[in-house]
Amino acid sequence: MSGLTEGGLLLYALLAGGDYDKGVTGCGPVIAFGLARCFGAELLSAIEAAGMGSDEGEEIFAKLRGEICKELETNSSGLLGFCHPAIAKEFPEAFPNRNVLRLYRSPAISRSSRIGIEESSGSMK
């Protein structure tokens, strides 16, 4: 995933799917990667605004959804290979799912003692 920022990696997971969700229907790795390169920073801005519990945060998420759909329809960046109007038409109104977003931002992890890693050296037992 070279070339992706933190926001890009997060957006990629939300679009293509991962541990917590199946992603957006029709959005495979190539499309997700292109969109993540275009809109990763915007996703982080939306998260920061929404984190303050403001209506502005929801407006930013709605704007981001609109921009993603426009890019799917036009491929103006040239990063998607070609236009994907069918995906844009079916793009979820509730994107990104806030519960899945929270899970990616604060993932559940196991304590190192339970999985056999020595905390001081980081080596496997």
| pLDDT one-digit tens code per residue, 63-98 | 999 999 999 999 999 999 999 999 999 999 999 988
Q: How close are the terminal C-alpha atoms of the chain, in Å? A: 30
82 is in which domain, residue-wise?
Answer: 50-106
| pTM assigned to the model | 0.81
pLDDT band of residue 59 (cuts 50, 70, 90) is: confident
| Residue 100 counted as domain residue | yes
Per the structure, the count of domains in the chain is 1
| Residue 72 counted as domain residue | yes
9 Cβ contact list (under 8 Å, min separation 6): 1, 36, 40
| Residue 78 counted as domain residue | yes
Would you call 115 helix, strand, or coil by DSSP? helix
For residue 4, count CB atoms less than 10 angstroms from its CB and return exposed for 0-12, middle for 13-18, buried for 19 or more: middle
The more confidently predicted of residues 30 and 107 is: 30
pLDDT of residue 120: 52
pLDDT of residue 125: 46
| Residue 93 counted as domain residue | yes
Q: Which one-letter DSSP state was computed for residue 117?
A: B
| Residue 116 counted as domain residue | no
